[in-house]
């Protein structure tokens, strides 16, 4: 067996210095679930950094013949065997594969499923290397794999890879979460999966949908509020998972993979996570969001990776110089973890990247080396594609880290014959942040009332409607309002604010104690309350929701006007939460206790000033 630690002993940077790390053994290092996030890092139940060093163990979301190349069209026809099981189980036992993953330095697995697989009650074909799986349904085999991975110490991220059981990712009915099924069915399937593994704290995450992209007629979008709005759909199912099924799961939201027809002369591109810079996710539980993205050398910023249908003028990632590549990667995805103290700041998981062991193209090899170096340099969580291939004889799926031939003989990336081996060693042994991650950074969250209510508080969700007929936004528990846009639709929250001991809806000037915005109508919280939510009716400001602090709040205040321009603290704390609109924001350490506005219901009635107290 090829033990990674026998090849190399590494030094990892920690908060307190540099310590040696022992070689990789048959199991990943110990850790305690559930996982959550602190700033740009994933942490375990003790607050220690848990870096996702993962690979994709695919197969359960698709059909395969048991041999041959997954990219060969000949293997996608009516003669396929509908295994819907993780690859390799016809050639090696589950524990043998798990041994191999551990020995490659991995601590986690992105485990694919299709919605069709969940409902398929037919027994899987016999898997010769795992006779104990005979007669089980695909979902029951999936259960066994989850059980063995987590028992050995791996973290498992459930990945809804496709809707129908097939290889992805073209115009195949799997383009969006609701292309081949209703959004309600997609949500219900996620609640089913989240509940199914709720007792297993090493099932750590829900990766909501793979490579969201355009279908024949429609692009996905980020923030339009319609049926193809991925930002809306992912936020809604995330909150349902956390409130109805399993509050321990991390929620992985991948960027948009493709928009536009990939034909010369038509707009097209890969937005990935760029839209999150101006419209991020705020979940009902802070500390559960992870953003993810995919990068392959054969795709590009405006290139789908397809051939023969145009795009000849658009560079692929492998065509970029090292510096151009770094700039594009930061712009498209890596900014979410590199930019601290923003509403979009979150851990980044590159949940797919890879290259083939048989690749000879210099540009493709250079991309892989450069990309691995950037992952290591930025200390970014990752999941290689794929973990296990079809064959180990040099043909078949040569992209895999592990492969087994028909006799069960293994070949892997560290066998000394694979050009990817040195890069893989650099990646899994790269210096990384380890140990405790202090929870001492400011937390920022965006509220978005463009189209509907945005109740990010568990406590307020359990209360009666605090302003019927209005669209309402409420900060997550533990946060209070910090800023507001002139339109009233966008808000910015920050912490801390201890869980309020009670709430008051304020629609008038009952609690106004000084004329802090002469000539304007003012809503103001009672003493020792801070604004934790607000509401609008149409385009008109309506009311504030005040939460009573568990400790006394200061009485020193100032008025922050934003009717004619931005009025925000220097340093851009929290980031631009309402691009294109004027906005006001209290300084760090201050509380919003009042909102002044002008106009009447039916007119603009826009918020124009904040009362900030400390």
Average pLDDT over residues 595-604: 71
Burial code (b: 16+ CB inside 10 Å, e: under 16) for 505-523 equals bbeeeebbeeebbeebbbb
Given a cut of 90, is residue 400 above it in pLDDT?
yes
H helical segments located in 333-483: 335-338, 362-377, 421-428, 458-461
pLDDT value, residue 22: 33
pLDDT value, residue 308: 59
Residue 346 phi/psi, 5° resolution?
A: -165, 165
**Spatial CB neighbours of 172, under 8 Å, sequence gap ≥ 6:** 164, 166
- Closest to 434 (Cα-Cα) out of 36, 44, 50, 107: 50
The answer to whether 136 and 123 are in contact (CB under 8 A) is yes
- Find the length of the chain: 614
DSSP states along 476-542: PTT-EEEEEETTSSEEEEE---PPPS-EEEE-SSTT--S-SSTTSEEEEPPTTEEEEEEEEETTEEE
pLDDT value, residue 217: 86
Q: Helix 138-151 crosses helix 94-103 at what angle (to 10 degrees)?
A: 40
Q: CA-CA-CA-CA torsion for 577, 578, 583, 585, nearest 10 degrees?
A: -10
According to the 3-state scheme, what is the secondary structure of 273-284?
CHHHHCCCCCCC
Distance CA 314, CA 312 (A): 6
Greater pLDDT, 247 or 303: 247
Given a cut of 60, is residue 219 above it in pLDDT?
yes
Average pLDDT over residues 339-364: 97
Helix (H) or strand (E) holding 550: none
pLDDT value, residue 498: 77
pLDDT value, residue 232: 98
**What is the three-class DSSP state of 584?**
strand
CA angle in degrees (0–180, nearest 5) for 309-311-314: 165
pLDDT value, residue 239: 98
pLDDT tens digits along 521-534: 999 999 999 999 99
Distance CA 495, CA 588 (A): 9
The residue ranges of every structural domain in the chain are: 4-45+55-428, 444-613
Helix (H) or strand (E) holding 28: none
Token pair for 566: 């931005």
pLDDT value, residue 79: 34
pLDDT tens digits along 481-506: 999 999 889 999 998 887 788 999 99
Which of 8-17, 32-41, 405-414, 474-483 has the weakest average pLDDT? 8-17
Distance CA 162, CA 174 (A): 6
Burial of 277 (0-12, 13-18, 19+ CB in 10 A): middle
Q: CA-CA-CA-CA torsion for 350, 352, 355, 357, nearest 10 degrees?
A: 110
DSSP, res 241: I
Asked whether the whole model's pTM tops 0.85, one would answer: yes
Place of tokens 């801070």: 530
pLDDT tens digits along 197-210: 999 999 999 999 99
Distance CA 229, CA 253 (A): 13
Place of tokens 């908060």: 15
The answer to whether 221 and 229 are in contact (CB under 8 A) is yes
Which of 189-193, 211-215, 342-346, 600-604 has the weakest average pLDDT? 600-604
pLDDT value, residue 496: 86
Distance CA 147, CA 527 (A): 53
Average pLDDT over residues 66-87: 49
pLDDT value, residue 72: 35
Distance CA 438, CA 367 (A): 35
pLDDT tens digits along 530-586: 999 999 998 789 999 999 998 899 999 999 999 999 999 999 999 999 999 999 999
At residue 602 the predicted structure's pLDDT band, cuts being 50, 70 and 90, is very low
Mean pLDDT over the full length of the chain: 89
pLDDT value, residue 65: 47
Q: For domain 4-45+55-428, which CATH number applies: 3.50.50.60, 3.30.465.10, 2.40.10.10, 3.20.20.80?
A: 3.20.20.80
pLDDT tens digits along 137-188: 999 999 999 999 999 999 999 999 999 987 777 778 899 999 999 999 999 9
Q: What percent of the chain has pLDDT over 90?
A: 77
The answer to whether 386 and 412 are in contact (CB under 8 A) is no
**Distance set, CA 525 to CA 318, 361, 477, 549 (Å):** 56, 65, 18, 11
pLDDT value, residue 1: 27
pLDDT value, residue 482: 98
Average pLDDT over residues 51-74: 68
Bridging pattern class, strands 591-597 and 36-38 = unpaired
Given a cut of 60, is residue 11 above it in pLDDT?
no
Distance CA 470, CA 467 (A): 6
Given a cut of 50, is residue 70 above it in pLDDT?
no
Given a cut of 90, is residue 513 above it in pLDDT?
yes
Region for 308 from its dihedrals, namely left if φ exceeds 0, alpha if ψ lies in -120 to 50, beta otherwise: left
Given a cut of 70, is residue 18 above it in pLDDT?
no
């Amino acid at each position: 067996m090829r033990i990674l630690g026998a090849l190399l002993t590494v030094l990892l940077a920690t908060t307190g210095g540099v310590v040696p790390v022992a070689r990789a053994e048959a199991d990943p290092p110990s850790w305690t679930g559930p996982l959550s996030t602190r700033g740009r890092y994933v942490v375990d139940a003790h607050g220690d950094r848990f870096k996702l060093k993962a690979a994709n163990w695919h197969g359960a979301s698709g059909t395969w013949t048991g041999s041959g190349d997954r990219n060969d069209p000949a293997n996608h026809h009516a003669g396929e065997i509908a295994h819907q099981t993780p690859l390799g189980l016809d050639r090696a036992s589950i524990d043998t594969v798990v041994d191999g993953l551990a020995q490659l330095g991995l601590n986690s697995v992105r485990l694919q499923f299709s919605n069709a697989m969940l409902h398929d009650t037919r027994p899987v074909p016999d898997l010769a290397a795992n006779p104990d799986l005979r007669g089980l349904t695909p979902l029951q085999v999936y259960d066994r794999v989850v059980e063995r991975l987590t028992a050995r110490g791996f973290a498992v991220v459930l990945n809804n890879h496709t809707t129908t059981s097939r290889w992805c990712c073209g115009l195949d009915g799997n383009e969006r979460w609701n292309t081949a099924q209703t959004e309600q069915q997609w949500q219900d399937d996620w609640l089913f999966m989240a509940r199914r593994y709720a007792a297993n704290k090493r099932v750590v995450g829900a990766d909501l949908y793979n490579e969201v992209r355009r279908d024949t007629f429609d692009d996905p979008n980020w923030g339009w509020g319609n049926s193809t709005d991925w930002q809306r759909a992912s936020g809604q199912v995330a909150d349902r998972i956390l409130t109805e099924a399993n509050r321990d799961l991390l929620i992985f939201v991948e960027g948009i993979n493709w928009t536009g027809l990939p034909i010369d002369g038509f707009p097209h591109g890969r937005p990935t996570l760029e839209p999150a810079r101006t419209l991020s996710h705020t979940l009902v539980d802070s500390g559960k969001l992870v953003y993810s993205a995919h990068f392959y050398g054969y795709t590009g910023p405006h290139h789908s990776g397809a051939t023969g249908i145009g795009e000849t003028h658009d560079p692929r990632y492998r065509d970029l110089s090292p510096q151009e590549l770094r700039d594009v990667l930061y712009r498209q995805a890596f900014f979410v973890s590199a930019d601290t103290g923003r509403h979009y700041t979150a851990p980044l998981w590159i949940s797919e990247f890879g290259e083939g062991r048989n690749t000879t193209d210099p540009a493709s090899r250079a991309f892989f080396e450069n990309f691995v170096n950037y992952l290591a340099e930025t200390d970014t969580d990752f999941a290689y594609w794929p973990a296990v291939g079809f064959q180990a004889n040099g043909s078949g799926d040569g992209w895999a880290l592990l492969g087994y031939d028909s006799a069960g003989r293994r070949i892997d990336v560290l066998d000394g014959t694979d050009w990817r081996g040195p890069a893989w060693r650099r990646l899994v042994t790269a210096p990384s942040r380890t140990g405790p991650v202090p929870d001492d950074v400011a937390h920022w969250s965006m509220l978005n009332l463009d189209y509907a209510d945005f109740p990010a508080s568990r406590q307020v969700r359990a209360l009666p409607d605090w302003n019927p007929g209005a669209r309402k936004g409420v900060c997550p528990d533990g946060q209070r309002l910090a800023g507001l846009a002139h339109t009233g639709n966008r808000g910015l929250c920050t912490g801390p604010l201890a869980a309020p001991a009670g709430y008051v809806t304020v629609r008038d000037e009952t609690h106004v104690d000084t004329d802090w915005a002469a000539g304007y109508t003012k809503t103001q919280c009672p003493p020792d309350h801070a604004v934790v939510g607000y509401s609008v009716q149409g385009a008109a400001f309506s009311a504030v929701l005040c939460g009573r602090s568990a400790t006394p709040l200061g009485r020193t205040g100032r008025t922050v006007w934003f009717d004619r321009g931005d009025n925000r603290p220097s340093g851009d704390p929290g980031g631009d939460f309402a691009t294109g609109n004027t906005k006001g924001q209290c300084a760090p350490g201050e509380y919003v206790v009042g909102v002044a506005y002008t106009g009447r219901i039916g007119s603009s009635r826009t918020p124009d000033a904040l009362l900030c107290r400390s």
